[in-house]
């Protein structure tokens, strides 16, 4: 349970970090280390060089620019619960955060690390989809913004090319007509979810849904939106009949893999239950 030996460099700029990574044959970035350090200890990963992003200034801080909240990649999970700008403009992250791991892990783990890793059972990556966030990525050609819908590609596969750095997350700020909700089903507190989901929608004054985004996690190789459900909800007011109708669409949307601990039929059942709860929650203003 000890990592193989590696070299270590702490970079202070994106360019330095990118260059150090490129120069080494076999490098890994480290942010909070809460996924990487166990992977090193188990020797699931054994890079020759670790490039520590912890001192990169552009990756720190939370700022509001117009109606976009820019959350630096190094913002720790625990800050989702304490940062006033996040509570005000990206409340779904604050709602999801208590479900991510345990308090001490949240003191180290970073939003950028979580979204870069893109574990299909992770809360924050799915919330990027629900919030329609953009990923700020630094690479050979400078910085680009990738929408969440194009970012998650396959199991642990994202739009990040080898050596590219997830610098920050850009989240559209919620207004008075937005409603949102998060929940997950776990066996024990702090465990990865059996099924989880978050949603965020824009509602008319009369309670009709203008549009809504609903993202599930722990049901597929990536976090996934349930687009037929979103479409069926648009223009409608939530009531018991509508909830029952869209719960019926889940089976055609999701196709969970075989799992000896949780058969697909069970996961689909849990997804329907969760969807019902979340829609109930946002049927009155948040």
Ligand X SMILES: Cc1cc2nc3c(=O)[nH]c(=O)nc-3n(C[C@H](O)[C@H](O)[C@H](O)COP(=O)(O)OP(=O)(O)OC[C@H]3O[C@@H](n4cnc5c(N)ncnc54)[C@H](O)[C@@H]3O)c2cc1C
Give the range of 24-32, 84-92, 127-135, 243-251 binding ligand X by CB under 6 A.
Answer: 24-32
Least distance between another protein and beta carbon 286 (Å): 23
Q: Mask 93-122, x = binds another protein (CB under 8 A)? A: --------xxxxx-xx--------------
Strands (E), 61-120: 62-65, 68-72
Which residues from 182-241 bind ligand X, rule CB under 6 A? Answer: 192
The residue within the footprint of another protein, chosen from 54, 61, 139, 276 (CB under 8 A), is 54
Which residues from 50-109 bind ligand X, rule CB under 6 A? Answer: 53, 73, 100-101, 105, 109
The two most distant CA atoms of the chain are separated, in Å, by 62
Residues 6+ apart with CB under 8 A from 154: 221, 222
Q: Which of 257, 198, 186 is nearest to 225 (CA)?
A: 198
Is 133:111 a contact under the CB 8 Å cutoff? Answer: no
CB-based contacts of 183-187 (< 8 A; 24+ apart in sequence):
183/274, 183/277, 183/278, 183/281, 184/99, 184/123, 184/217, 184/218, 184/274, 185/270, 185/273, 185/274, 186/99
- The listed partner (ligand X, another protein, none) that binds 95, CB under 5 to 8 Å by sort, is none
Query: Which residues are near another protein by CB under 8 A?
Result: 1-8, 10, 30, 33-34, 37-38, 40-42, 48, 50, 52, 54, 78, 101-105, 107-108, 188-190
Interface residues toward ligand X, by CB under 6 A: 28-36, 38, 53, 73, 100-101, 105, 109-110, 112-114, 116-117, 119, 122-124, 160, 165-166, 192
């Amino acid at each position: 349970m000890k990592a193989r030996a590696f070299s270590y460099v702490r970079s202070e700029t994106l360019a330095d970090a990118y260059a150090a990574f490129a120069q080494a044959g076999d490098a890994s970035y480290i942010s909070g280390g809460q996924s990487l350090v166990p992977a090193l200890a188990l020797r699931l990963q054994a890079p020759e060089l670790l490039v520590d992003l912890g001192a990169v200034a552009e990756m720190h801080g939370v700022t509001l620019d117009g109606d976009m909240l820019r959350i630096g990649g190094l913002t720790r999970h625990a800050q989702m619960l304490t940062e006033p700008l996040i509570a005000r403009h990206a409340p779904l992250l604050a709602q999801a955060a208590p479900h991510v791991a345990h308090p001490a892990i949240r003191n180290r783990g970073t939003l950028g690390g979580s979204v870069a890793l893109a574990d299909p059972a992770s809360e924050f990556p799915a919330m990027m989809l629900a919030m329609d966030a953009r990923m700020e990525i630094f690479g050979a050609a400078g910085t680009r913004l990738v929408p969440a819908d194009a970012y998650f590609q396959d199991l642990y596969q994202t739009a990040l090319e080898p050596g590219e750095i997830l610098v920050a997350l850009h989240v559209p700020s919620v207004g008075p007509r937005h409603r949102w909700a998060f929940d997950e089903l776990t066996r024990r507190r702090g465990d990865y979810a059996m099924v989880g989901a978050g949603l965020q929608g824009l509602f008319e004054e009369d309670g009709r849904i203008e549009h809504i985004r609903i993202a599930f996690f722990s049901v597929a190789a990536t976090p996934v939106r349930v687009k037929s459900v979103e479409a069926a909800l648009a223009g409608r007011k939530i009531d018991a009949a509508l909830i029952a109708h869209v719960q019926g669409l889940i089976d055609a949307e999701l196709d969970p893999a075989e799992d000896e601990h949780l058969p697909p039929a069970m996961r689909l059942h849990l997804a329907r239950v969760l969807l019902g709860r979340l829609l109930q929650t946002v049927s009155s203003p948040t």
